[in-house]
Amino acid sequence: REGLKFAQGKPAKVKVETLFIRTTGQDIKDARNILKVSQPQFARIMAVSSETVKKWEQGKNPIPAAVGYWAEGIKTHPSQTKKLLFEMAGKLTGLVHATGH
C-alpha cells in the first residue's frame, strides 16, 4: 500500500533506491510470462498499444525506463510486484476485470 501511495505521488513510508537496468525484449516477454498475460493484456496494463508491446519484444522500439523497472520487479519480486501492478492498473484504468486479476 505504501508503494502505491508513492507511485501516486502521495506521502509514503518507503525507501526509494535508484535502479539502473537495461531492459530487452526478452525481459518484457519474461515479465509477461510470469504475469501469465498476453501482449494485448500487458499493453492495457502498461497503457500502450499491443503493437508497442510487440515492437518492444522484437527490439524495434526502445523500452521506457518505467516499463523496464516494472519488468525487473516482476522478475525479482513477482508476487509483490504483480499485486502492486494489478492494483495500480485497476485503479487507473479499470483493468483488473479486463485481465482477470
Q: What percent of the chain has pLDDT over 70?
A: 81
Q: Is the pLDDT of residue 5 over 50?
A: yes
Q: What's the rounded Cα separation, in Å, for the pair 75 and 55? A: 20
In whole angstroms, how large is the CA radius of gyration of the chain?
Answer: 13
Q: Is the pLDDT of residue 87 over 90?
A: no
Structure confidence at residue 98 (pLDDT): 46
Q: Do 93 and 44 contact (CB within 8 A), yes or no?
A: yes
C-alpha cell at 57: 519484444
Judged by average pLDDT, the poorest of 13-17, 33-37, 60-64, 97-101 is 97-101
Q: What percent of the chain has pLDDT over 90?
A: 44
Structure confidence at residue 60 (pLDDT): 94
